[in-house]
Amino acid sequence: MDPSAAPRVVAVIPARGGSKGVPGKNLRRVGGVSLVGRAVRAARDATAITQVCVSTDDAAIAAEAAAAGAIVIDRPAALAGDTASSESALVHALEVLSQDGPRVDVLVFLQCSSPFVAASDLDAAVDLVLSDRADSVFSAIDNHTFLWRPQGDRVVGVNHEAAHRQRRQDRPPEYRETGAFYAFRADRFAAVGHRFFDRTAVVPVPELTAMEIDTEADLAVAGALAPLVDPRPAVLPVTAVATDFDGVHTDDRVLVDQDAVEAVRVSRGDGLGVAMLREARIPFVIVSKERNPVVGARGAKLRVDVLQGVDDKVCALTAWLDRRGLRAADVAYVGNDVNDLPVMAAVGWPIAVADAHPEVLRAARLVLTRPGGHGAVREVCDLVLAARSGALSD
């Protein structure tokens, strides 16, 4: 590497369209963000990485990657089949990258199937290579498992002596490769054609985050882990807010008198938050499947748009956004029950109230600390206003 020039550190994320175990895997969402989007975000957040590329043969993945801020490399069909190796995609990416600038110094290979990669761990891997302490690096977790191997009609210890079981702290360190990411000298990789060579080192990562998605069950586990693992956003950088009504503005209960007149309880704090969004000229809309006078009355009180009696919330919200020239990727939607799932999947910031249905909690990019009818809407408004305040101060 030329010490006088800034190193070119490129992350390449292979993301082919075909997937047998989990159909459409790279576009499936964990914590409200697609797997390819999560990989791009981790790489873009790493300070040591200067360029993020996604190698794909799929138009939908390419669009998702570009929207997340990655450069798309068209992956030839011959390198996108079930038997194609990740190395072949990386070699092709290096060939493409060599045509658009200086040579690549460090190549970071990042897998979409590992949804919880931390940018700080990517930086640590790159630093090991740039500081000349390693030539290739991979992510791993400390492994203290006692392994056994079949031998004839019995099993024998692999990494221990059966007659002498050492304490955990007395055993030499061992590592289990997670498959999440790798970093290596690009020139040596091009020469040897595989990701492990010369001085190989590890970046230890937390076991809780070291999962790989190969099945639908893995995807479900990742969805359950996301609210615990993902850092909670301090702001919501959105251009508009849409919400359900029942269970979001209310506690999902209704009072019915003897004349069948319905009444609900709402939060004054929510109302003040919406008023502050309105003053900041941030569009707000209530989208409700029910057609009930109380929904319209609350919308009129808040002086916001109301779309009610809506069977297809996605279509209704999309039309509302189109009239305002807004992108769904830049919008938050707050829901609480399963009928909110389609519209949550259509926006960039799907949000769940604290007491939402479990499926909604798994689909959310942000789970609020407050339940519906008890300040959940205000919590969202405060986060949006915080983002707007930060943008103005910049």
Highest averaged pLDDT of the listed ranges 20-24, 209-213, 246-250: 246-250
pLDDT given at position 78: 84
Conformation bin of residue 247: beta by default, left when phi > 0, alpha when psi is -120 to 50: left
pLDDT given at position 1: 52
pLDDT given at position 101: 76
Give mean pLDDT, residues 126-148: 94
Identify the CATH number of the domain in which residue 215 sits: 3.90.550.10
* Residues 291 and 337 placed together within one structural domain of the fold: yes
Domain boundary among 174, 200, 229: 229
Least confident span in 13-27, 276-290, 297-311, 356-370 = 13-27
Show the CA angle centred on residue 254, arms to residues 351 and 263, nearest 5°. Answer: 110
Give mean pLDDT, residues 197-208: 94
* Residues 186 and 250 placed together within one structural domain of the fold: no
pLDDT given at position 121: 97
Model confidence pLDDT, tens digit, residues 9-55? 999 999 998 777 788 999 999 999 999 999 999 999 999 999 999 99
Nearest Cα residue to 54 out of 19, 27, 23, 84: 27
pLDDT at 392 over 70: no
Identify the CATH number of the domain in which residue 302 sits: 3.40.50.1000
* Residues 274 and 212 placed together within one structural domain of the fold: no
* Residues 366 and 283 placed together within one structural domain of the fold: yes
Model confidence pLDDT, tens digit, residues 334-346? 999 999 999 999 9
* Residues 187 and 67 placed together within one structural domain of the fold: yes
Give mean pLDDT, residues 310-325: 96
Give mean pLDDT, residues 287-315: 92
pLDDT confidence band for 255 (50 / 70 / 90): confident
pLDDT confidence band for 394 (50 / 70 / 90): low
Give mean pLDDT, residues 95-101: 86
H, E, C per residue of the chain: CCCCCCCCEEEEEECCCCCCCCCCHHHCEECCEEHHHHHHHHHHHCCCCCEEEEEECCHHHHHHHHHHCCEEEECCHHHCCCCCCHHHHHHHHHHHHCCCCCCCCEEEEECCCCCCCCHHHHHHHHHHHHCCCCCEEEEEEECCCCCEEEECCEEEECCCECCECCCHHHCCCCEEEEEEEEEEEHHHHHHHCCCCCCCEEEEECCHHHCCCCCCHHHHHHHHHHHHHHCCCCCCCCCCEEEECCCCCCCCCCCEECCCCCEECCCCHHHHHHHHHHHHCCCCEEEEECCCCHHHHHHHHHHCCEEEECCCCHHHHHHHHHHHHCCCHHHEEEEECCHHHHHHHHHCCEEEECCCCCHHHHHHCCEECCCCCCCCHHHHHHHHHHHHHHHHHHC
Q: Is residue 92 part of a domain?
A: yes
pLDDT confidence band for 393 (50 / 70 / 90): low
Give mean pLDDT, residues 163-182: 85
* Residues 225 and 244 placed together within one structural domain of the fold: no
pLDDT confidence band for 170 (50 / 70 / 90): confident
pLDDT at 3 over 60: no
How many domains, in total, are found in the chain?
A: 2
Q: Domain limits at 196?
A: 9-229
* Residues 155 and 36 placed together within one structural domain of the fold: yes
Domain boundary among 171, 196, 229: 229
pLDDT given at position 6: 86
Q: What is the mean pLDDT of the chain?
A: 92
* Residues 99 and 195 placed together within one structural domain of the fold: yes
Who contacts 281 (Cβ-Cβ below 8 Å, separation ≥6)? none
pLDDT given at position 81: 79
pLDDT given at position 209: 87
* Residues 55 and 150 placed together within one structural domain of the fold: yes
Domain boundary among 199, 229, 259: 229
* Residues 316 and 178 placed together within one structural domain of the fold: no
Instruction: From residue 185, give the alpha-carbon distance in Å to each of 4, 51, 54, 112, 361.
Output: 17, 15, 19, 21, 41
* Residues 289 and 205 placed together within one structural domain of the fold: no
| Calpha distance 175→178 (Å, rounded) | 9
Q: Is residue 144 part of a domain?
A: yes
Copy the structure tokens of residue 378. Answer: 């205000």
* Residues 219 and 275 placed together within one structural domain of the fold: no
Q: Is residue 234 part of a domain?
A: no
